[in-house]
Amino acid sequence: MALLLKRIDAGGIQVAALYNRRSRYDTPAQRAAKEKASSEAQRRMNQIYSYQKLELRLAVNFPKPGSGLWVTLTHDDAHMPDSRKEAQLRFKYFLKKLRDARKAAGLPEPVVFWAPEILTSESGRWHQHVVVDSTGRDFGMIRDCWIYGSDIEIRKLGIPEPGEKLPPWYDPDADEPGNYFRMVARYMTKELRECQEYESRPGLHGWSCTRNARKPEVDTVTVEDDYELAAPEGSEVLLDKKKPTEFAFYHVLKYRFSGSRTDRKAPKTKRRKTRRRGLSL
């Protein structure tokens, strides 16, 4: 008997699920138990991946503290858009100016994640939440490219230092303390979920990104039945959920890897056997 190991490699965040593989020799009870375990493991993975898809994308594109910038762009009175569509067009123009400025300075094309434009209920101002990769020459460039107001907040992405002004996304009571990728992802999608327009436009995307943004690597391999799923030494475990049953089990593990990438040991895997048609077994 062998087990299936599904892994999501998002650079700064790793997610893995281990569960039973069905066999043609299983009894009906064993088959039902394994189907239930694998379905539960997949459900757990889907919950993580759907809710944290933005989190994992941020983790793989900005793996180190300070490699990304949290930016909030706000329109002033003289440039207040009349609609969300107009706000979107202005943000697209900002992205074009930023690309051109980066190119003129000999810098790589920016990697940008953004939430839909939000109309603040208190101030009545449109504003945009953005995460962009840091080159070390960005603060003045971003301010020059945003021509619709001087109310611009820029700070390095990472856990705030003691005494530093806390960013709006920081949640001291977060379910994964210290995981700022999750905090930022929750905040970037929070306002859209609470926005009244979301109720009338359920298909409105929660976030977008530039095409050059990297995606997490996902693969599924077969491992020995005695394989144990464990986080590498020195990593921080964020989620560890295991549920054994009489015939089957699943184990979902999520952790932040803090050591050298070469320190990770790949599990021993088996090549999947392919069934030949036309042959009796």
Q: How far is CA 101 from CA 60, 141, 157, in A?
A: 25, 7, 22
Per-residue pLDDT of 143-163, as tens digits, reads 999 999 999 999 999 988 888
CB 148 within 8 A of CB 92: no
Contact (CB, 8 A) for 12 and 19:
no
Cα torsion 233, 236, 241, 245 to 10°: value is 10
Is the entire prediction scored with pTM above 0.85? no
Under DSSP, the state recorded for 170 is -
* Range with the poorest average pLDDT among 32-36, 228-232, 260-264: 260-264
Domains of the chain by residue range: 29-243+250-257
Tens of pLDDT along 6-62?
888 888 788 888 876 655 544 555 555 555 555 565 555 554 544 578 899 999 999
The answer for residues whose C-beta is within 8 angstroms of residue 103's C-beta and 6 or more apart is 109
Q: What pLDDT does 238 receive? A: 87
pLDDT tens digits, one per residue of 74-123: 998 899 888 888 888 999 999 999 999 999 999 999 999 998 777 665 66
Higher per-residue pLDDT: 83 or 278: 83
Fold of the domain built from segment(s) 29-243+250-257: Alpha-Beta Plaits (3.30.70)
pLDDT at 110: 96
Among 219-223, 255-259, 273-277, the minimum mean pLDDT is found in 273-277
